[in-house]
Structure 1
Amino acid sequence: MHLLLRFCLSIVGLFVLSHTPCLAASFVYISLGGEKKIAVYQMDEKDGDLTHVEDVKLEGAPGCLEVDPEKKYLFASVRSAKKFNSYSINPQNGKLKKISSVPAGGNAAYIASDRNGDYLFSAYYGEGKVAVHQLSKNGEISTEILQTIPTDKKAHAILPDQSNQFVFVPHTGPNAIYQFILNEKTGMLKANKKPLVQAAEGLEPRHLAVSKDNRFIYFDNEKGSSVSAYKLDPKMGTLTPFQTISTLPKGYEGKNTCADIELSPSGKYLYASNRGHNSIACYEVDLKSGRLKSLGQEPTEDTPRSFNIDPSGRYLYAAGQKNGKLAAYRISPKTGKLERFATYDVGKSPSWVEIVKVP
């Protein structure tokens, strides 16, 4: 009787295991420009703790990282080598396997996939232009550049809206945001009828974040130490500013420039990094009006050039480019405020943090 019971229980156990879906895993990828490598960490879903997995050596100093919409592939701008690399992501351990390495159009400051994963957009700070590469379904980047468009000096980022119809490129130099229309079938960009939006004097928009409902786009202003909110016309694909709010506390008189900006997955909170004040500025987002309310600033590591929020919206990781440390925070779901729980030594000159939750 006992043997029969054990046999039955073992059969039930095997059935349960075979019909239990694999839990998604989250990985953190960090560009280390000072060491010419990408550091790979696994994130504990329960407490946000990071465990080092591997380092991936590159031909040059990496900068911006991007992941395809299906979370299968990682793309890297190898800035000093003027190349783009693509990697497959091992869903079990996050390790990277190189798929392709192709010439970029120069030293690309920023890369982004379109919403369908068919094209890779790039913005060039020094060269003052944008470009488009084609992406294959197996993660390869086309050797030939599909399109190059001269814009102006200091093109700092490039990102499509949620509808995948329009693309925006903030420029710190001319203090403007270029507006493009995307042909999803060909990947080609063309200037919108209103080709650019001039920002208010002294702002210099750098990076951007698009709201989930596609009604608002937020830009952090490098020189202005502020965040500007814009309304997006869903038919025309043009932007209209309606709010600018400081990233600094009142009375601060030291030097500062803004670097990165991120919306929480819920869209309820927004964050921007201060280089100089060395903090993460926190905001609550009014989901109806799009307006921002300051929640103050949270101290972080020296020169926070890049940070990222995990897809669950529970954790934020910010890299100090000057001291090589990564600050880890819990995000309060009720208040949006940050609570640091760990600090990691990650390596020399971290310039990008990308978190990927593999399905």
Structure 2
Amino acid sequence: MALEKILFGTYTKGASKGIYTANLDNTTGLLQDAKLVAELGSPTYLHLSKAGYLYAINKKNSDRGGISVYDYRDGDQAVLIQEILTEGRSPAYVSMDEERQLFFVTNYHKGTIESFAVQADGTLTLLDRFKSWGQGPRPEQDKARLHFTNLTPDKRLVSVDLGADKVYTLNISDEGIFELVATYQAGSGFGPRHIRFSPDGEYAYLVGELSSLLSVLKYDQTDGSFTLLQTVPTIPADWDSHNGGAAIRLSNDGRFVYTSNRGHNSIAVWAIDQNTHKVSLVQTISTEGEFPRDFNLNADQSYLVAGNQDTDNITVYRRDAQSGELTLVQKDFNVPEAINVEFV
């Protein structure tokens, strides 16, 4: 038996107190040993650095939020070492460039990305800020709303704007300075939320929250631009209740895409054609709970773990590496208001 540790970011609107951890038994596929490791407000997304510092979104109150930094090098209890709080709503996503020791904070409510230098002691120092602009046709698109920023395979940054239906490609200098180099305009009302790249870095898969659509994009590493190849719905055609596309992950072999549906409460499994890189639906499986946001694959990708925010349960599936299909293993493991799923 080998145990794999998972960190769970959560909302703290109800029973949750902050960041939790649990262990996945990768022989049985069962979770065990849930534990609170840091108490703070709505740490919805997290990042654990290779040096053992844990970075978490912190909602201090309704009009003040930011980032909390913890020393988590002992892998047990997280010890707070820094808080960076500003006026306004808390951020939506955090990511890191380990090679250049840069940290990125994406704020949905402010439409901004901030870059920070990561100091030797794990603390952060602000370097630069990029602000998006524009709006879309839906009520949720009243202004720019950046939802996700992360490194591209060629070490640029990609950031998606739900409010303006845009995907930005930015150069980032060693000093953490942003330079916008390309803008992809998604379909009107698409509502981009998260994006992931193929292992070879030549294709990207973009999920739309507001539209419940998945787009396949060709990525041009010479200029950072994207070209649309395909768009497909993430939910069945006969589903007419509310749904929001949420998270997206790719298998390491580049053969499968996984997306989550909040409302339909499911994971959709997609096979990637290795010639065209377009996708076809393999399976849609219930998350056995309500409002699944994030999910993740374990180290050898034999299991997929999903969090259900509104029903406080974590669901585990065994994954078939050949077909990509998921089989339910566990559905009643309690972590309150789970959002982010990060294997340590």
Fold conserved between structures, TM > 0.5: yes
The 1-side partners of 2:55 and 2:294 are apart by 16
Q: How does 1:149-160 map to 2 (within 5 A)?
A: 149-152=130-133, 153-160=144-151
TM-score, length of structure 1 as denominator length: 0.85
- TM-superposed CA distance for 1:277, in Å, is 0.7
The 2-side partners of 1:39 and 1:59 are apart by 11
TM-score, length of structure 2 as denominator length: 0.88
Gaps of 5+ in 2: 134-143
**Aligned twin of 1:72:** 52
Query: For 2:198, which of 211, 220, 223 is the aligned residue?
Result: 211
Count of paired positions: 325
> Cα–Cα, structure 1 residues 26 and 72, in superposed 2: closer, same or farther, change >3 Å?
farther
Query: For 1:95, which of 76, 79, 99 is the aligned residue?
Result: 76
**Aligned twin of 2:136:** none
The 2-side partners of 1:217 and 1:210 are apart by 4
Q: CA RMSD in A?
A: 2.1
CA contact (8 A) 1:59 1:78 kept: yes
- TM-superposed CA distance for 1:212, in Å, is 1.3
> Cα–Cα, structure 1 residues 189 and 61, in superposed 2: closer, same or farther, change >3 Å?
same
Q: How does 1:15-94 map to 2 (within 5 A)?
A: 26-34=4-12, 35-68=16-49, 70=50, 72-80=52-60, 82-89=65-72, 94=75
Residue 189 of structure 1 aligns to which amino acid in structure 2?
A: F
Q: How does 1:136-155 map to 2 (within 5 A)?
A: 136-138=119-121, 140-142=122-124, 144-152=125-133, 153-155=144-146
Deviations 1:11-49 (A, max 9, x none): xxxxxxxxxxxx985211112322231111122232222
**Aligned twin of 2:137:** none
**Aligned twin of 2:153:** 162
**Aligned twin of 2:251:** 264
**Aligned twin of 2:229:** 242
> Cα–Cα, structure 1 residues 100 and 231, in superposed 2: closer, same or farther, change >3 Å?
farther
CA contact (8 A) 1:40 1:54 kept: yes
CA contact (8 A) 1:40 1:95 kept: no
4+ residue segments displaced more than 6 Å: none
> Cα–Cα, structure 1 residues 149 and 200, in superposed 2: closer, same or farther, change >3 Å?
same
CA contact (8 A) 1:79 1:109 kept: no
- TM-superposed CA distance for 1:327, in Å, is 0.7
CA contact (8 A) 2:31 2:333 kept: no
- TM-superposed CA distance for 1:224, in Å, is 1.3
**Aligned twin of 1:173:** 163
- Percent of residue pairs bearing the same amino acid type: 25
Residue 329 of structure 1 aligns to which amino acid in structure 2?
A: Y
CA contact (8 A) 2:167 2:185 kept: yes
> Cα–Cα, structure 1 residues 244 and 58, in superposed 2: closer, same or farther, change >3 Å?
same
